[in-house]
Structure 1
Amino acid sequence: MHMKSLTALTLAAPASALIRFGCSQLVVERLDPLVTPGVNPSPHLHQIIGGNAFNVTMNAEDGDIGEMATCTTCQFSEDFSNYWTAVLFFKARNGTYHRVPQVPNVGFEGQKGGMTVYYMQDGLANYEQTSKVTAFKTGFRMLIGDASYRTKEEANRFRQITYTCLQDLGTRYPETMDFPKEPCPAGIMANVRFPTCWDGKNLDSPDHMSHMSYPELGTFENGGPCPESHPVRVPQLMYEVIWDTSKFNDKELWPEDGSQPLVWSMDDTSGFGSHGDYMFGWKGDSLQRAMDSPCYVNCPMLATQSIEEMNKCSVPNVVDEVVDGWLESLPGFSGGEHA
């Protein structure tokens, strides 16, 4: 979808909820309290946004992170959830790696890296946003994507994890499942959309995915019904992460054979291993109230904070390693293997 479509959505001013907001960077660290709780460091590097209750364990029995956090990097200051993805690196012709910086979306200038988050009653293509959804519950968490996937056949399991080669910051199409093969003038947007049907019982599952499902047919946008096994319709959660690959568009730096030089922090050069993690942490019933209200992009009924306040929230690094500058290997790897 091109930015003009988002503008049209804003002008349509429907009666139901779609909220879109920026979140600054909380920390860039080799921790993953969802997939490898208690493991310090985790196998690969992540970039995390949201509340400052983020830590190495975050077991469900530890309590409500919406109550434990004292600040958040997100615009809506009642949202203490944590959201994270892998980290994108550029691999130069000489074999060294450099972390690709993140830049804010249009409208969030001044935000320190991070990403843009959406909660929708319907997909962006539905201007009216007419569906009723049940907000996530305290303790809810989920994962979409698989860090080990390297082929399109594997990645087809996840229908809505894509990339957009940005001609400018308003570009929204076309989307591909693998990394763009040519330099992108304004960088690359990594799009992560989560399943929207919940079993209504489990706040998590052993693989962090089985308690969730796509609709019976197609994706969230076509309005298909949820399967009987997962009957509860929840908001479409979506991440947009803009990686400023434009800094590395000089093909003299690219591999001599011209192959694309981007690699995820789990040593994935295909792009098919893209994934996103989520831990719900909205305070009280604030998300449900927003989803039940005429909130559209902005939401006057939710408490908000300035970009300056968002940028102030952070947590200290607990893993002692260098992740910036030119690196001989990816964090957690040595000579192409995990350290």
Structure 2
Amino acid sequence: MRSSPQRLSALLLGSALIAGVLGVGTIAAAADPDNASPSSAVAGHTGHTMAVSTQASGDDPDGDGYIPANPQVTGVTPSDVEPPSAYFHEFQANCSVTHTAPDDPIVYPGQPGKSHDHTFMGNTSTNASSTTDSLFGGQTTCKAPGDSSGYWMPSLFKGDTKILPVGPQVIYYKAGVTDYTSVRPFPKGLRYVVGNPMQSAEEFQKHPGFVEGWECGESFKNVDFPQNCPVGSQLNIRMQAPSCWDGKYLDTPDHRSHMAYPGVKAGTNRNVCPSTHPVALPMIEFKMAFPADGDMSQVRLASGRGYSFHYDFFNAWDERTLKAMVDHCIVGGLQCDPRGYDQNQPNRGAVLNADYRLP
């Protein structure tokens, strides 16, 4: 049975979610006033709220939406250290599209067909019934066989034709905090949603994960789809995920409150995790490219307009492989490819062999 403090937290979060459904603006976790700027270090997002659906599943047998980490990570103080100068601290997890389906094992676990259509990358088996155990060690379209994670986003349509990204898509794993040496690997089974299919255009533009919006040709930073894209060009979007974890839950009912974006610590120029979410994890950044060009007036997402873009992540990396990549590339201050190799610093070597596996 959940302890009293945890039960109180659950009730408070439930009240916040109900307020959101009723249209009352809420912030799921406010910034630490002594640590970060309130504009960026937030776990939730003010405004429209995505529908919350909790149901018993393999990872959540009581169906309350909370999946506790085991073990939990405690005693962490967010680092505000200024590390050695390193312009890059990242690696790529290049993954191709596997399939599409109206499934979402995070928002609608065990409920096939209930979601809008999603385009899946990475693990080839991802469906409404996916769990940590079913994904872990599974087949994947990511270049590194050790990455069996599930990645998905709303499908893109032009009229009634579904437009799928072609080839490996760039999924960055970066340091979202200034002290890149404090970043640690994702816990097995962590999952979350980035963005909100019900967000307004303004909310999308002001979202802390917004990078450059929709782009094609010479048209940049569009909140919605451009009206036209040069023939032969691609439609691109980049969006960053929160990278600060509360250390307690692998998922929460709104699929966001256990995660937060770092913020600038008062009196400094350093990005630091808030004390409510002190554990620095890799910051995922989707960089998607869709082969859509010409007249874009009929382009839409399965979730709606361009500003409804969002994506989901379900961690099922082989733990040794992910730790090796994080330690060498992020903590090591390198700009790595999917093998964990920085071509600008060849003397540092690679993490993975020619088959993208740990040697």
The TM-score normalised by the length of structure 1 is 0.67
Moved more, 185-194 or 75-84: 185-194
Matched, 1:65 2:150: no
Q: Partners in 2 of 1:192 and 1:49 — Cα distance?
A: 16
Matched, 1:137 2:137: no
**Are residues 27 and 196 of structure 1, via their aligned partners in 2, closer, same or farther at CA, if it must alter by over 3 Å?**
same
Paired letter, 2:174: M
Greater relative contact order (Cα < 8 A, sep 6+): 1
Query: Could you tell me which of 143, 153, 158 is aligned with 1:90?
Result: 158
8 Å Cα contact 1:17-1:292 kept in structure 2 = no
Name structure 1 gaps, 5 residues minimum. Answer: 1-12, 92-96, 104-110, 255-259, 307-339
Query: Could you tell me which of 162, 174, 199 is aligned with 1:149?
Result: 199
8 Å Cα contact 1:22-1:74 kept in structure 2 = yes
Which residue number corresponds to residue 187 of structure 1? Answer: 234
8 Å Cα contact 2:214-2:224 kept in structure 1 = no
Query: Could you tell me which of 285, 301, 305 is aligned with 1:264?
Result: 301
Matched, 1:115 2:187: no
Which residue number corresponds to residue 80 of structure 1? Answer: 148
Q: Partners in 2 of 1:304 and 1:150 — Cα distance?
A: 45
Provide the secondary structure at the position in 2 that maps to 1:272.
Answer: helix
How many Å apart are 1:152 and its aligned residue? Answer: 1.5
8 Å Cα contact 1:121-1:291 kept in structure 2 = no
Provide the secondary structure at the position in 2 that maps to 1:245.
Answer: coil
Query: Could you tell me which of 273, 296, 299 is aligned with 2:335?
Result: 296
Provide the secondary structure at the position in 2 that maps to 1:102.
Answer: coil
How many Å apart are 1:54 and its aligned residue? Answer: 1.7
Q: Partners in 1 of 2:262 and 2:101 — Cα distance?
A: 34
8 Å Cα contact 2:173-2:282 kept in structure 1 = yes
Provide the secondary structure at the position in 2 that maps to 1:163.
Answer: strand
How many Å apart are 1:122 and its aligned residue? Answer: 4.6
8 Å Cα contact 1:163-1:188 kept in structure 2 = no
Within 5 Å, give how 1:29-40 maps onto structure 2: 29-40=101-112
Provide the secondary structure at the position in 2 that maps to 1:22.
Answer: coil
Root mean square deviation, CA, Å: 2.8
8 Å Cα contact 1:17-1:290 kept in structure 2 = no
Provide, for residues 178-235 of structure 1, a one-character-per-residue CA deviation record: whole Å limited to 9, x for no partner.
22233245121121210111111211111110000111349xxx74111110111111
Q: Partners in 1 of 2:354 and 2:107 — Cα distance?
A: 31
Which residue number corresponds to residue 106 of structure 1? Answer: none
**Are residues 184 and 76 of structure 1, via their aligned partners in 2, closer, same or farther at CA, if it must alter by over 3 Å?**
same
Query: Could you tell me which of 303, 307, 310 is aligned with 1:275?
Result: 310
8 Å Cα contact 1:146-1:273 kept in structure 2 = yes
The TM-score normalised by the length of structure 2 is 0.63
Query: Could you tell me which of 163, 179, 204 is aligned with 1:100?
Result: 163
How many Å apart are 1:304 and its aligned residue? Answer: 5.8
Which residue number corresponds to residue 211 of structure 1? Answer: 258
**Are residues 64 and 229 of structure 1, via their aligned partners in 2, closer, same or farther at CA, if it must alter by over 3 Å?**
farther
Matched, 1:239 2:286: yes
Provide the secondary structure at the position in 2 that maps to 1:44.
Answer: coil
Matched, 1:160 2:210: yes
Q: Partners in 2 of 1:303 and 1:45 — Cα distance?
A: 36
**Are residues 274 and 15 of structure 1, via their aligned partners in 2, closer, same or farther at CA, if it must alter by over 3 Å?**
closer
How many Å apart are 1:75 and its aligned residue? Answer: 0.8
8 Å Cα contact 2:157-2:299 kept in structure 1 = yes
Which residue number corresponds to residue 23 of structure 1? Answer: 95
Moved more, 208-217 or 294-303: 294-303
Which residue number corresponds to residue 345 of structure 2? Answer: none
Q: Partners in 2 of 1:143 and 1:161 — Cα distance?
A: 17
Matched, 1:284 2:319: yes
Provide the secondary structure at the position in 2 that maps to 1:263.
Answer: strand
Matched, 1:176 2:222: yes
**Are residues 187 and 215 of structure 1, via their aligned partners in 2, closer, same or farther at CA, if it must alter by over 3 Å?**
same
Q: Partners in 2 of 1:77 and 1:216 — Cα distance?
A: 34
The share of aligned pairs that are identical, in percent, is 25
How many Å apart are 1:65 and its aligned residue? Answer: 2.7
8 Å Cα contact 1:81-1:281 kept in structure 2 = yes
Paired letter, 1:244: P
Matched, 1:199 2:246: yes
8 Å Cα contact 1:149-1:155 kept in structure 2 = no
8 Å Cα contact 2:112-2:129 kept in structure 1 = no
Paired letter, 2:308: G
Provide the secondary structure at the position in 1 that maps to 2:109.
Answer: coil
**Are residues 200 and 163 of structure 1, via their aligned partners in 2, closer, same or farther at CA, if it must alter by over 3 Å?**
same
